[in-house]
Amino acid sequence: MLPLRSIPVPALRLIPVLLLAVALLAPSASVASVASGTDGGDGDVAGSSPFIEGETDLPPKPPAPPPRGTRGGLTIAGLEKLYTVAPGSTTMVRVTVTTSSGRPAAGRTLHTYYWEYQGQGERSKERLLTAVTTNAKGRARVAIHAPFSTFGYGFLYYVDVLSRSGSILDDQKFKVKVDGDLPAGDPSAQCSGEYPGPSLETPQAPSFYAVSLVPCDVPGVDQTQALKLNLSEVTSWFAGQTVDGVAPQWLRDGDGSISIAHVVVPFTRYEFGQGTTYPRLEAWIEANLPRTESLAPVVFADTYSDPDDVFCGVTDQSGPSPMLVIPQRECSLYPEEFGDGGQKYIVEHEMTHAFGAVPDCAPHYDGTGHVNDGQSDVLYQGDLDRIAPLVLDQGHDDYYLTNIPDCPDIADSPYWTSPTP
């Protein structure tokens, strides 16, 4: 069982958020006792998530499909486990190949590839990483190296087993999560020059827009493609929850994909890795990112949250539009391959806040901007585990399609798309 954590949330304007799991807390995340209530009742945050199982981030899974890896009569063991590798580092994956009769498949060549997202929903086999041969016991060690240049966002690793004649007998996916701290960065690096925010035209309808903030000394670090996929999954989740399939309205690129502004900021990678940078970064965000009634920023930065107010994500509703910030390193929330866990959940949760949930007139308002009933509610915050799949206002009794007189309903938010006729 994961212990519940409570942290004080001093700022009234902040919708408090979830600390997902002890294992994911950064060392800098000081977690104090219960809030005193002097913040006007915008109280404690406590939560555990079903999306964290032990050391992994995997969400609850449907029953496993029949094991793969038996084509050609060979079985590959060792790929069931989730491997974690830090960006820029290497981990060793041990595999054992056996024949259909259970004997070691000795002298078999294994090729390892990584794939990288190349566009919305598309991947291309990028390059061969390793070629190793199984030993007399059918065993081999495969090095999985996470490229540093992209932070390892959106990678899949595959292993191919070659036949003796060199043809591919099988193609299996490694479960690899790229996680952990980046190399610390260069303490002496400095930013110089101009670092303007994005210049955006006013859209026809009020819209969210996504921003990836990038340290000045590693401007090529790019999570744009992975974020496109991640946010498109978030958007699909909303469309599946709403009447008429309405979804968050986003600024989009010419090809129809969600636009991600890649914005270099006057902070170094080293500073991103410090637990004390957030307040200055937040000030930069407020001064440089467009925020009007028509433009609601959704900000991703691979850094830690406020040392005095630890959060995985936050929604600020005090301005002309809502603004979301996900300090990704705080809770190791990155766009990833593994479905409902991680960043997808936190963005769905925060965007639901951004639409205006939960109003304090809701019957199950818990005093912190969440609901205390419905374990599958994306805004459930209570003592019980959340239950996937998550839904938008379980029971439609608190904030979406409620028909409660004089209590706001997030269906009325201007940041939804129009129903398609």
Q: Which residues are at the interface with Zn ion (CB under 5 A)?
A: 17
Which residue has the closest beta carbon to Zn ion? 17
Q: Report the alpha-carbon distance of residue 147 to residue 126 in Å, rounded.
A: 12
Q: What are phi and psi of 169, to 5 degrees?
A: -90, -30
Name residue, tokens 């769905």.
Answer: 348
User: In this structure, what token pair is assigned to residue 306?
Assistant: 């406020």
| β pairing state of 14-15 and 109-119 | unpaired
For residue 354, the minimal CB distance to Zn ion (Å) is 10
Instruction: Indicate the residue among 182 and 371 with the shorter CB distance to Zn ion.
Output: 371
Closest Cα to residue 308, out of 12, 10, 45?
10
For residue 17, the minimal CB distance to Zn ion (Å) is 5
Instruction: Indicate the residue among 17 and 331 with the shorter CB distance to Zn ion.
Output: 17
- Check residue 420 and report its DSSP letter: P
In this structure, the dihedral spanned by the alpha carbons of residues 233, 119, 303 and 277, taken in order and rounded to 10 degrees, is: -120
Sheet holding 109-119, edge to edge: 82-85, 168-178, 155-162, 109-119, 122-133
Instruction: Indicate the residue among 40 and 254 with the shorter CB distance to Zn ion.
Output: 40
For residue 399, the minimal CB distance to Zn ion (Å) is 12
For residue 309, the minimal CB distance to Zn ion (Å) is 13
For residue 352, the minimal CB distance to Zn ion (Å) is 8
Instruction: Indicate the residue among 295 and 379 with the shorter CB distance to Zn ion.
Output: 379
- Check residue 179 and report its DSSP letter: -
For residue 199, the minimal CB distance to Zn ion (Å) is 31
Q: Report the alpha-carbon distance of residue 235 to residue 344 in Å, rounded.
A: 10
Instruction: Indicate the residue among 358 and 411 with the shorter CB distance to Zn ion.
Output: 358
Instruction: Indicate the residue among 17 and 234 with the shorter CB distance to Zn ion.
Output: 17
Q: Report the alpha-carbon distance of residue 312 to residue 234 in Å, rounded.
A: 17
